[in-house]
């Protein structure tokens, strides 16, 4: 009987990653993220190399496989397992349907910090919404959520859309959260605007000119870096 892909992958993942544990690096990595999460101590190049070993010979996952594995990774203690999940989702963003946004929301609102939020927002949620535009209505709701990580995700999800960016939506999100008290939201506003300025600098200049009275100095400073 063939073993389920998710079970095989998770067993490989835990075995391969845990065998490469580096306690000294783990302590340094944990300190960098304010000791919020335990780490195995695997630097990014090592994680990628080991991830390729884990995935070698495995077939393309189904949506169910993706859901099972990433949720299991979020249950594991060490942060590198969540990084693996983010990378794996990005690699297979074309697999899941629109209902997977609910799973993404679970990941965004659990064990939340910028190190997982940003790849999920810019590389997975953005891709999912691009493939399923009707999800835009849900992202609109996230942009006004009480959870600041949902807000950050909404602001950043179009980061790599370039000329396909819905500027009305981008600017509306930024204006809506211009006075947000949290650094990570104000920073996201500046980052999103700065990135879109690569595509349409005049549009960003006009937006900043008309909203300097409501945007935080941090957002304006970040948005203006290359204008």
What pLDDT sits at residue 38?
98
Cα distances (angstroms) measured from residue 131 to each of 94, 95, 178, 196 = 8, 10, 28, 20
89 burial class (0-12, 13-18, 19+ CB within 10 angstroms)?
buried
Check if 1-96 and 112-227 are the same fold.
yes
Span 215-224, pLDDT tens digits: 999 999 999 9
pLDDT tens string 71-100: 999 999 999 999 999 999 999 999 999 999
Q: Where are the beta strands (DSSP E) in 94-177?
A: none
Report the pLDDT averaged over residues 146-160: 98
Q: What is the pLDDT of residue 221?
A: 97
Contact 146, 112 (CB under 8 A): no
Closest CA to 193 of 182, 181, 216, 42: 216
Domain positions in the chain: 1-96, 112-227
pLDDT tens for 181-200 read: 999 999 999 999 999 999 99
Long-range Cβ pairs for the range 175-180 (8 Å, 24+):
175/211, 175/214, 176/143, 176/144, 177/143, 177/151, 178/211, 178/214, 178/215, 178/216, 178/219, 179/214, 179/216, 180/148, 180/151
Q: Residue 168: its pLDDT value, please?
A: 97
List the structure tokens of 55.
Answer: 């995935």
Fold for 1-96, please state it: 1.25.10
Q: Is 34 left (phi over 0), alpha (psi -120 to 50) or beta?
A: left
- Percentage of the chain beyond pLDDT 90 is 98
CATH topology (fold) of 112-227: 1.25.10
> What pLDDT score was predicted for residue 182?
97
| Percent of the chain whose pLDDT exceeds 70 | 99
What value does the mean pLDDT of the chain take? 97
Q: Does the structure show a pLDDT above 60 at 1? A: no
Question: Secondary structure of the chain: what % helix, strand, coil (to 5)?
Answer: 70, 0, 30
């Amino acid at each position: 009987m063939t073993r389920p892909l998710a079970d095989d992958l998770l067993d490989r993942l835990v075995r391969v990653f845990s065998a490469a544990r580096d306690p000294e690096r783990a302590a340094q990595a944990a300190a960098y993220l304010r000791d919020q999460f335990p780490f195995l101590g695997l630097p990014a190049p090592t994680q990628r190399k080991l991830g390729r070993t884990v995935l070698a010979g495995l077939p393309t996952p189904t949506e169910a496989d993706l859901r099972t594995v990433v949720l299991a990774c979020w249950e594991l203690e060490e942060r590198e397992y969540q990084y693996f999940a983010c990378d794996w989702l990005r690699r297979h963003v074309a697999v899941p349907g629109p209902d997977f946004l609910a799973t993404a929301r679970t990941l965004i609102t659990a064990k939340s910090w910028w190190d997982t939020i940003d790849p999920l927002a810019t590389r997975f949620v953005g891709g999912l919404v691009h493939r399923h535009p009707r999800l835009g209505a849900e992202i609109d709701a996230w942009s006004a959520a009480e959870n600041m990580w949902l807000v950050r995700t909404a602001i950043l999800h179009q980061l790599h859309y370039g000329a396909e960016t819905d500027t009305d939506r981008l600017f509306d999100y930024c204006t809506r959260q211009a006075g947000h008290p949290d650094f990570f939201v104000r920073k996201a506003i500046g980052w999103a605007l700065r990135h879109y300025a690569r595509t349409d600098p005049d549009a960003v200049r006009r937006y900043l000119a008309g909203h300097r009275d409501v945007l935080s100095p941090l957002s304006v400073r970040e948005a203006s870096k290359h204008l």
